[in-house]
Chain A
């Protein structure tokens, strides 16, 4: 992306994430949050709950949470209930409210117990004034059943209008540093491949969110954000959101690259030169003033005016024949 549009993109995308987090004007009916042990989606769920306008009824359907998080209006335990019963309970909880947010803290459980009917269940919940927020853990193994058809994750991704993937800031920064010097990216947690390691160091620190927002036109908007905790400022304030490339720690390594690029330009695109290849204005003028030999040949018209071959035979070397020359 050309640098002049960065300002425009920043303004546009920050506005978009603010709208997405407060779910204003039905901007995204089904938001899928993809998380792992490296970065949990729980802080983001809390941020969602905090940013809802007061007339929103937030319904939390729990599959792995035992205590209702703050900002939740209705807490429903989803484990072991049939989809029909669950649907009935949700409908009862949402009735009479013009605006409700439905949070499912773990879609994996439903995906493993009701693989076939999960998408149907979710789409049945989508109604005007209702926004759906579902968390799917990417690192939980999917039961290998011999059922035909795509995996639940594929279906969920297909169904969702916004995809938010969680990362931990230290991990993203280290990955970038490795990429910058063409090293293979490091891995964390289970991916480290070391027996006995479950969670990587530096996990669950500051949250980096990779957004894929699908417009109605079908075009997708991609952006990376850092969503910090809002607790350090006045209580109850929203968390600070910024573009990942505006984060001071991301910019440090970016500055190094930019500095290198400038140097490269100065050297006429040749890398790794320890001296300057360009010239200063004074040097240029001095060069113009230099009298080159054979200046006559460069003058308009040149010597002899037109493409003549000048040949001066040498007496001793050339075979000089007067008769032939005269012909």
Chain B
């Protein structure tokens, strides 16, 4: 068990079901490590608890092997995972970038996963690709996300929030709109002082609408091996 990081109080699943967690990232500070971190937390919790959650990961930017390799590095037994019916992984190669097709895929995956009694966790990576590729409009994407949120126990959605993208009205409407729905928002950005050798970026965790938590900012560092260190500002690291 790794030592508790400053992030620990924020990565526990929300107390109420049908909640949405939003992750925003920028091009220089991708959120894949955070997706994998949250994923590994869910998967490792599934080995201990009696009723393990079903997990669905849908990535619109990465392929299956990218995340599986990373999970292997985090100590998850990916071989048993791939054989398990509790784990559905759809990479960029497995899906069509087209809203009706994707909705169908999601619906099927969700109905398979929620057949049992256990909780269902769905992660949707870079959902804004649907907008920028012209596959759907904002209402279509929101409809899909709200459907997922309603069906799954917990939904984790990541979006790109770079300034040039945010200047697009539809894109900004999607990101801000998701922020209003989200129970918790993880926002990644670079250091205000520029690039550093030992800090990859800043992670701001805030509560979304109606969560009554003020928020927190921590720094993180993604090492060569994919290991991530999360620490407070000014903290002395070994």
Contacts and interface: CB of A to CB of B under 8 A. Distances in A.
B163 interface: yes
Given A113-B139, A198-B185, A201-B204, A66 B176 contact: no
A37 B143 CA distance: 20
Interface stretch (B86-94, B114-122, B211-219): B211-219
Given A37-B180, A137-B176, A197 B187 contact: yes
Interface string B125-153: 00000000000000100110010011000
A140 interface: yes
B190 A203 contact: no
Nearest to B184: A199
Contact of B149 (A66, A144, A200): A66
B7 interface: no
A84 to B, nearest CB: 18
Contacts of B210: 40, 42-43, 46, 204
B24 interface: yes
B169 A198 contact: no
A190 interface: yes
A46 B209 CA distance: 12
A205 B172 CA distance: 24
B16 to A, nearest CB: 8
B92 to A, nearest CB: 24
B18 interface: yes
Interface residues of B, number: 45
Contacts of A203: 206-207, 214-215
A196 interface: yes
Contact of B177 (A113, A140, A200, A202): A140
A204 to B, nearest CB: 5
A246 interface: no
B26 interface: yes
A190 B161 CA distance: 11
A140 B179 CA distance: 10
A199 B214 contact: no
Given A195-B163, A199-B215, A201-B215, A67 B18 contact: yes
B215 A195 contact: no
A40 B24 CA distance: 19
A43 B208 CA distance: 12
Interface in B179-217: 179-181, 185, 187-190, 192, 202, 204, 206-217
B212 A170 contact: no
Contacts of A66: 18, 146, 149-150
Given A196-B29, A205-B214, A42 B209 contact: yes
A259 interface: no
A309 B213 CA distance: 86
Contacts of B229: none
A164 to B, nearest CB: 15
B69 interface: no
B108 interface: no
Among A40, A112, A144, A200, the most chain B Cβ lie within 10 Å of the Cβ of A40
B146 A198 contact: no
B140 to A, nearest CB: 10
A33 to B, nearest CB: 12
Given A37-B179, A113-B139, A140-B176, A201 B206 contact: yes
Interface of A: 35, 37, 40-43, 46, 64-67, 79-80, 106, 108-109, 112-113, 137, 139-141, 143-144, 170, 190, 194-205, 229
Closest 5 CB pairs of A and B: A196-B189, A40-B209, A42-B210, A199-B206, A66-B150
12 contacts: A37-B209, A79-B146, A137-B176, A143-B169, A195-B26, A195-B190, A196-B25, A196-B26, A197-B187, A198-B179, A198-B187, A199-B179
Given A80-B143, A204-B210, 17 more contacts: A37-B180, A37-B208, A37-B209, A40-B208, A67-B150, A143-B173, A196-B24, A198-B24, A198-B179, A199-B206, A199-B207, A201-B215, A202-B215, A203-B207, A204-B214, A205-B213, A205-B214
